[in-house]
């Protein structure tokens, strides 16, 4: 299609594309500015009482104050620690279990119903158990985070292992690759995109559960700080903390996508994206 | 004959592991002295007393489910309506996307204390919390689905003069429905989590409230029955969602299968 275009036509199309990209960025910036402006104006006009939603400028001041406190940085470290440890455990366990179950058909057949039953159990159901057994320790947070994130990874790994091209599998067998080599060179590369999708989903869920555990159980971290600020009536501070959790969420998403790009740079789906 | 044998095997495969796990749980905890881990037989015996013979089903479980239902329904209406609007216009999408990305990244449970300020600790707060968590996956998936509507179908619809509500229903929503349903599924599981959390944080009734109440009064056996009930509820709602998906997307699964079969 594009090869039939004459050179000037192609150039003008490229120009139009970059113009479109620029206007998209501009609109995005404009949209965000509008959002921020609304957050400032709505409480000032009294549409929502400033007692409940302080103007953005006051939240900004609270945010600036927060960054000067040592306790705030400890809280962030605590949250990130619970998130990261839980995610690593869940990902490792999910990949290991997924590969074992996925590559052995009998296991797959006999575990399917159990997985389908356990997966939708909301991990928050474990909160009271975590409180009783572990109290407000890090282990409480980890229990919830790992339970929630594990299924995300496991299910994606199972899809991925199932997706292996039978011809590639047969070819590898013909070339005399043993079981381990086949997993390493055929199954793993096929499953990797799925694994990374699982990691991305798990990373987001893990952050939600880490902050939930802190909020409800009272384990140290941002969630707990939000609870304290709310019960102490420090409204602007509470909103500032909520914004910080949002920024943390954005950072987690970006990080997961970066990881995906980096580990899958060889994959056709990404190569096409770069070429286009 | 062979068919029947395969059927038996499938049933065996579905039931074997759950049964083994249950029996293991039963046997291993049979004379458990542990305070946290009462025997399974005791837990099951307590279910009757705690949930069935008291009025907890109508006082706690029903309000929880109604709030979940109301919140989810509101989120579906808002998410699909906004999603269709944003997905249909390139400009609007560019305008909203960064804000949506940020709002979506806020972990929904932190909205519990925020909305408590605005709406108190009543039903309104809990429904709002559920809406504010469920709406993002539904909204963003709808946007993606609407954006990816087949160009040929769009042109065809234009040629046939399809417009207004008919175009919306038969072309846009129909094409986007696989993504919308995926969003509904994600939204529902977040909704259940938020239903429980909002009740654990501040409430006077509800499933989450009674479970946390059992834990605070160290009624461990009762707490376990609550955990089991909540787990069962999660499973049942997920199953209902899957049945709905099968029904609503029957055409899509068929289409995909035909395409796969055809390309071989």
Label residue B78 exposed, middle or buried (CB < 10 Å: 0-12, 13-18, 19+).
middle
Are B94 and A117 a contacting pair at CB < 8 A? no
User: How does the average pLDDT of chain A come out, rounded?
Assistant: 87
Give the mean pLDDT of B17-35: 85
CA proximity to A210, closest of A174, A177, A249 = A249
Q: Does A104 touch chain B (CB under 8 A)?
A: no
Are B98 and A208 a contacting pair at CB < 8 A? no
CA proximity to B36, closest of B163, B215, B178, B168 = B215
What does the alpha-carbon distance between residue A114 and residue B201 come to, in Å, rounded to a whole number?
A: 31
Half-sphere exposure of B166 (CA within 13 A, CB side): 6
Are B197 and A129 a contacting pair at CB < 8 A? no
Q: DSSP per residue over A245-271, as a string?
A: HHHHHHHHHHHHHHHHHHHTTTSHHHH
Interface predicted TM-score (ipTM) of this complex, two decimals = 0.83
Q: Is the pLDDT of residue A222 over 90?
A: yes
Find how far residue B160's CA is from the centre of its chain.
Answer: 38
CA proximity to A59, closest of A234, A197, A230, A178 = A234
Q: Does B240 touch chain A (CB under 8 A)?
A: no
Give the mean pLDDT of A59-84: 93
What does the alpha-carbon distance between residue B121 and residue B215 come to, in Å, rounded to a whole number?
A: 21
Half-sphere exposure of A145 (CA within 13 A, CB side): 30
What does the alpha-carbon distance between residue B152 and residue B157 come to, in Å, rounded to a whole number?
A: 9
Question: pTM of the entire structure?
Answer: 0.86
Residue B264 has what pLDDT? 40
Taking only the tens place, the pLDDT of each residue in B144-160 is 888 888 888 888 888 88
Q: What is the CA angle A121-A122-A123, rounded to 5?
A: 110
Q: Is the pLDDT of residue B34 over 90?
A: no
Which residue among B104, B114, B237 places its CB closest to the CB of A242?
B114
Which residue among A51, A110, A122 places its CB closest to the CB of B196?
A122
Q: Is the pLDDT of residue B3 over 70?
A: no
What does the alpha-carbon distance between residue A226 and residue A221 come to, in Å, rounded to a whole number?
A: 9
With cut-offs at 50, 70 and 90, classify the pLDDT of residue A14: low
Q: Are B58 and B113 in contact (CB under 8 A)?
A: no
Half-sphere exposure of A34 (CA within 13 A, CB side): 13
Taking only the tens place, the pLDDT of each residue in B94-123 is 899 899 989 989 999 998 888 888 888 888
Are B105 and A223 a contacting pair at CB < 8 A? no
What does the alpha-carbon distance between residue A228 and residue A219 come to, in Å, rounded to a whole number?
A: 12
With cut-offs at 50, 70 and 90, classify the pLDDT of residue B4: low
With cut-offs at 50, 70 and 90, classify the pLDDT of residue A6: low
Characterise A6 by phi-psi region: left (phi > 0), alpha (psi -120 to 50), beta (else).
beta
Q: Does A36 touch chain B (CB under 8 A)?
A: no
Q: Are B208 and B194 in contact (CB under 8 A)?
A: no
Q: Helix, strand, or coil here: A176?
A: coil
Residue A78 has what pLDDT? 94
Residue A195 has what pLDDT? 92
Q: Does A120 touch chain B (CB under 8 A)?
A: yes
Q: Are A235 and A51 in contact (CB under 8 A)?
A: yes
Half-sphere exposure of B58 (CA within 13 A, CB side): 3
What does the alpha-carbon distance between residue B37 and residue B14 come to, in Å, rounded to a whole number?
A: 27
* Alpha carbon of A227: minimum distance to chain B alpha carbons (Å): 7
Taking only the tens place, the pLDDT of each residue in A99-152 is 999 888 888 888 888 888 888 888 888 888 888 888 888 899 999 999 999 999
Residue B218 has what pLDDT? 85
Residue A8 has what pLDDT? 57
Residue A81 has what pLDDT? 94
* Dihedral in degrees, nearest 10, Cα atoms A111, A117, A120, A122: -110
């Amino acid at each position: 299609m594009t090869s039939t275009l004459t050179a000037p036509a192609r150039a003008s199309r490229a120009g139009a594309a970059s113009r479109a990209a620029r206007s998209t960025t501009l609109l995005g910036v404009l949209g965000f500015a509008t959002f921020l402006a609304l957050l400032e104006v709505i409480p000032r006009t009294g549409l929502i009482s400033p007692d409940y939603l302080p103007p953005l400028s006051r939240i900004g001041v609270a945010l600036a104050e927060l960054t000067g406190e040592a306790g705030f940085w400890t809280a962030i470290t605590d949250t990130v620690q619970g998130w990261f440890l839980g995610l690593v455990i869940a990902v490792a366990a999910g990949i290991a279990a997924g590969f074992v179950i996925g590559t052995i058909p009998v296991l797959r057949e006999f575990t399917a119903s159990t997985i389908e039953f356990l997966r939708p159990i909301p991990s928050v159901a474990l909160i009271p158990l975590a409180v009783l057994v572990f109290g407000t320790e890090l282990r409480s947070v980890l229990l919830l985070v790992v339970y929630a994130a594990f299924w995300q990874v496991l299910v994606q790994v199972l899809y991925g292992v199932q997706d292996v091209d039978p011809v590639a599998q047969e070819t590898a067998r013909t070339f005399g690759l043993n079981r381990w080599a086949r997993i390493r060179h055929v199954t793993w590369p096929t499953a990797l995109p799925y694994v990374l999708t699982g990691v991305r989903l798990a990373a987001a869920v893990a952050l939600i559960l880490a902050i939930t555990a802190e909020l409800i159980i009272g384990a140290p971290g941002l969630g707990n700080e939000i609870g304290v600020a709310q019960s102490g009536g420090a409204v602007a501070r509470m909103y500032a903390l909520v914004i910080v959790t949002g920024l943390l969420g954005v950072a987690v998403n970006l990080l997961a996508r970066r990881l995906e790009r980096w580990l899958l740079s060889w994959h056709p789906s990404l190569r096409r994206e770069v070429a286009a | 004959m062979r068919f029947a044998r395969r059927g038996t095997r499938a049933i065996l495969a579905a039931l074997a592991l759950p049964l083994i796990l249950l029996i293991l749980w039963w046997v291993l905890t049979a004379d458990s002295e542990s305070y946290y881990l009462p025997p399974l037989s005791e837990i099951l015996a307590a279910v009757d007393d705690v949930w069935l013979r008291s009025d907890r089903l109508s006082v706690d479980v029903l309000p929880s489910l109604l709030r979940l239902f109301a919140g989810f329904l509101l989120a579906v209406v808002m998410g699909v309506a906004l999603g269709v609007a944003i997905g249909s216009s390139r400009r609007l999408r560019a305008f909203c996307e960064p804000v949506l990305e940020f709002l979506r990244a806020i972990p929904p449970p932190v909205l519990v204390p925020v909305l408590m300020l605005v709406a108190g600790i009543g039903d309104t707060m809990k429904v709002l919390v559920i809406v504010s968590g469920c709406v993002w996956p539904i909204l963003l998936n709808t946007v993606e689905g609407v954006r990816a509507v087949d160009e040929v179908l769009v042109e065809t619809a234009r040629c046939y003069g399809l417009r207004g509500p008919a175009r919306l229903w038969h072309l846009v929503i129909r094409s986007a429905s696989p993504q919308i349903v995926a969003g509904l599924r994600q939204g529902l599981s977040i909704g259940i989590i938020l239903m429980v959390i909002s009740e654990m944080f501040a409430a006077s009734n509800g499933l989450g409230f009674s479970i946390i109440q059992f834990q605070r009064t160290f009624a461990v056996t009762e707490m376990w029955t609550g955990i089991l009930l909540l787990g069962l509820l999660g499973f049942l709602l997920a199953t209902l969602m899957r049945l709905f998906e099968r029904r609503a997307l029957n055409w899509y699964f068929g289409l995909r299968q035909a395409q796969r079969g055809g390309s071989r």
